[in-house]
Chain A
Amino acid sequence: QSVLTQPPSASGTPGQRVTISCSGSSSNIGSSDVNWYQQFPGSAPKLLIFTNDQRPSGVPDRFSGSKSGTSASLAISGLQSEDEADYYCAAWDDSLNGFYVFGTGTKVTVL
């Protein structure tokens, strides 16, 4: 069971802004940087955001990340139909000699 909590679902109409939260603790988000992954059904996850707010080349600037304290957020501005996917946050956790942990995942639906 993940120690990073996300809402199960989020939705919006095309063009809207959608925000996904990721809640952790002092041993993970509170002390490590956060990453976000996008996953389409039947496909492998793809890195969307690394080090809290950095976009790999090729990722549209509609996607942005932020972190504050023990929580992080992913925002999708100008929502498009092709953004319908599952989104996972992830971070290193310093407890138990350290391990990488993924969030519970959020399904984004474009209405």
Chain B
Amino acid sequence: QVQLQESGPGLVKPSETLSLTCTVSGGSLSSYYWGWIRQPPGKELEWIGYAYYRGSTNYNPSLKSRVTISVDTSKNQFSLNLSSVTAADTAVYYCARGKLRYSTGGSRSNWFDPWGQGTLVTVSS
């Protein structure tokens, strides 16, 4: 059974870079997308982006200029870097395994399962 675990600093100063790592156990990174999703306290979920195990990426347009997601298959880990953070980036950050499938009619289906337990990152001086 695949399990994901986020790790990284819980406190980041404004203007600095938020860096998180997700360690995958019980399975390999091959053939899947690996994503990051965040949730500000009391608010809705926001997709940050994902990376395919071979390295291609796709990011939320609203965060694209500040986000980098990378995959390290040798360590069974993938990571998130979010630069120039502000208080608005304070949130619980989740990592998750993504799946992509196209129906016979060409309709795209993306979903995330399973998810890590999440880690709270606070941006404050």
Question: Which residues of A line the B interface, CB within 8 A?
Answer: 2, 31-33, 35, 37, 43-47, 50-52, 56, 88, 90-92, 94, 96-105
Residues of B within 8 A of A31 (CB): 107-108
Chain B interface mostly helix, strand, loop or mixed? strand
Instruction: State whether A32 and B109 are in contact (beta carbons under 8 Å apart), knowing that A44-B94, A51-B101 are contacts in the complex.
Output: yes
Number of interface residues of B (CB under 8 A): 27
Interface of chain B residues 40 through 80 with chain A (CB within 8 A): 44-47, 50, 58-61
B116 touches A44 (CB 8 A): yes
| Known contacts A32-B107, A44-B117, A99-B58, then 10 further A-B pairs from the complex at CB < 8 Å, ordered by chain A residue | A2-B44, A31-B107, A32-B109, A33-B103, A33-B107, A45-B115, A47-B112, A56-B113, A97-B61, A100-B50
Q: Within the complex, what minimum Cβ distance (angstroms) separates A80 from chain B?
A: 22
Nearest B-chain residue to A88, judged by Cβ: B45
Which of A46, A88, A100 is close to B44, meaning CB atoms less than 8 Å apart? A88
Would you call B125 an interface residue if the criterion is a C-beta within 8 Å of the partner chain's C-beta atoms? Answer: no
Top 8 A-B pairs, shortest CB-CB distance? A33-B109, A47-B113, A102-B45, A100-B47, A50-B111, A44-B115, A35-B111, A96-B61
